[in-house]
Amino acid sequence: MRQFLLCASALGVLLGAGVLAQNVTTVEEYAQLMKANAQAVGGMNKAIGSGTYADARMSLATLRKNYMALQGFWTDKKRDDAVVIVKDGLTRLDALDKTLSAATVDQMAAQAAAKEFGGATCGACHKLYREGDAQSGFKFKAGVI
């Protein structure tokens, strides 16, 4: 039974990833995904702060899904540096997911890891490939798409 449950949940993860890692191709889809990123990261930080780790993991799952889509997008654009950032993000999310699944969650460590995830991945890519600001609007740096 346990074996079956493990298999079933592994399959669920596979199917989930397959269904959820949609393609992002247009600028509009990309902006949508970024807005979802901002919401998910905000939700995750808030949940970690208030010790509701199951909720934090739900936001983390959204981020993972988004990063899978980003991986495809930047691979298509042949921007290896962006792909490296995205892959690093996925590795960081896996590590944070483990921290959040522990029997006793190290809240400080989780907070630090979430912050690092934001700086090292969201922040790093924005520095390389994003232009603009909240007032005038954000866009891709010239030549990316």
Q: Given the rule CB under 6 A, which residues bind ligand HEC?
A: 30-31, 34-35, 37-38, 41, 63, 70, 74, 82, 85-86, 89, 121-122, 125-126, 129-130, 138-140
Nearest distance, CB of residue 23 and ligand HEC, angstroms: 15
d(CA 123, CA 115): 10
Cβ proximity to ligand HEC: between 30 and 109 the closer is: 30
Nearest distance, CB of residue 54 and ligand HEC, angstroms: 20
Nearest distance, CB of residue 53 and ligand HEC, angstroms: 18
Cβ proximity to ligand HEC: between 105 and 140 the closer is: 140
Dihedral sign for Cα 73, 76, 79, 80, please: positive
**Tokens 């997008």 sit at which residue?**
73
Buried b (16+ CB within 10 A) or exposed e, 106-143: eeeebeebbeebbeebbebbeeebbeeeeeeeeeeeee
